[in-house]
Amino acid sequence: MTDNLTDNPTASLSGNPIADPTASTRGRTTAPVTSDDRLVDVIVIGGGTGGYATALRAAALGLTVVLAERDKVGGTCLHRGCIPSKAMLHAAELVDGIAEARERWGVKASVDSIDWQALVATRDDIVSRNHKGVEGHLAHAGVRVLRGSAQLTGPRGVFIEGYGNFSARRGIVLATGSRPRMLPGLQADGRHVVTSDDALFAPGLPGSVLVLGGGAIGVEYASFHRSMGAEVTLVEAADRLVPLEDADVSRHLTRGLKKRGIDVQTGARFLDASVLPDGVRASVRTARGEIRTIEAERLLVAVGRTPVTDGLGLAAAGLAVDERGFVAPADWSRLETAVPGIHVVGDLLPPPSLGLAHASFSEGLLVAETLAQVASPPVDYTAVPRVTYSSPQTASVGLTEAEARNRGDDVVVNTMPLTAVAKGMVHGQGGVVKVVAARGGQVLGVHLVGPNVSEMIAESQLIVGWDAEPSDVARHIHAHPTLSEAVGETFLTLAGRGLHQQ
């Protein structure tokens, strides 16, 4: 959730005017930098989702804001992660839809070929339009975006490469994001060995892929490549995929991926790999202790991300990273570090922050409002939805069944297959709704697997966030026929009013 900006910033160190970041669309340049320009209310380092959200909200509240970004505003999410990957996954859904039309519905259609360059052009156009939109929002809000690396010089000071020293009256916000974590002995080359940052930008579609890492990112890329016709092996060291999700989510997801022909290896350890002229050869120890050799045209490493703090100058401000590389807040209600006035958002935060773009938007709002001295509720990380955009999709919010039981809650659980409702039969992809609630009390978690559940989780987010009880939900009518009926039926049963589920 870091990173970037392409246009020139607003003014040079010498005071000579240079091109405004939006001069190409607004047709004007800015005034020279003065000493007054170097003293602002807020300095944000990093223009990813958390950084630019902070900047926009702070400017809307009347604060003067400088946003330092060494690449393109929008960060990893917009340029290398969330947006381009979901564009590609949508294309994958279209390919899958053609196969379903032929196999289930008698529509005699087939995919003759995939025009990779056309697919990439559509993806890049979506990213470009979003990027221009973010730039436009920042310009309209009056945020000064300076392209250059930034380094802390003290509790209120920042040096921005190419612009010099700036000072913040209210505070500094660290939003430098993260980068993919690599395994020892592996080095990404952008072709045969890739990370989640460059997987979608590697040349062409491989015929076979080995994915290391069964979290959300690894599962999504495995799903995409399978839809595009590749032979896919998905290796996860934990005993199940998406191990932070509810165990039933993992089970149904694994079943769906295997049904699609993905070779899922959980409880497996990557040992080593060598690059061949036309791909890679890797060794993996399976859950049974067997050594398995896997050859593939591409090896995709998706074993997590690590915070970006190199060159940030934390020590100059009296800060340090924790043992995992995160910059921990001293006060989570303000996301403020032990150094007053220095705040953190996005992937620099340790758990319970989730490293999700939508969570960082909320973190940015909280920090901006805190700096503007406006009352702001802390982020409720339990109520942040989590989605994996694979086929099948997963979506969840709140506690898993194991988390609820481990903290001592007396819980009741109800599950309902999506195929128990007519629309689920129409889709024919299986799936499940699972609700975890306190006995006689509020809903603690909702977990979904199946088609389009990413668009169904918002209702459950409100249910969990508002501490609703099953009876509160059961009074509301769900449209028929829809997939969301299964959610409604699950709550009806928990409220003692079950119809189709007794």
pTM over 0.85: yes
Query: What would the two tokens of residue 477 be?
Result: 């009518």
pLDDT in tens, 113-133: 999 999 999 999 999 999 999
* pLDDT at residue number 28: 29
Query: What would the two tokens of residue 492 be?
Result: 């009806």
Which residue is catalytic, options 90, 140, 476, 480? Answer: 480
Residue 242 and residue 394 in contact, taking contact as beta carbons nearer than 8 Å: yes
The SS3 assignment for 172 reads: strand
pLDDT in tens, 405-437: 999 999 999 999 999 999 999 999 999 999 999
User: Catalytic: 480?
Assistant: yes
Region 377-388 average pLDDT = 97
pLDDT at 33 over 60: no
* pLDDT at residue number 482: 96
Q: Who's near 251: CB < 8 A, 6+ residues apart?
A: 240
pLDDT in tens, 152-180: 999 999 999 999 999 999 999 999 999 99
More confident call, 424 vs 15: 424
pLDDT in tens, 341-365: 999 999 999 999 999 999 999 999 9
* pLDDT at residue number 21: 33
| Strand ranges for 250-369 from DSSP E | 263-266, 269-276, 279-285, 291-296, 298-301, 305-307, 342-344
Region 236-261 average pLDDT = 98
Q: How far, in Å, CA of 60 to CA of 57, rounded?
A: 5
pLDDT at 14 over 70: no
Is the backbone of residue 416 left (phi > 0), alpha (psi -120 to 50) or beta? beta
Alpha-carbon Rg for the chain in angstroms? 24
Q: How far, in Å, CA of 196 to CA of 273, rounded?
A: 18
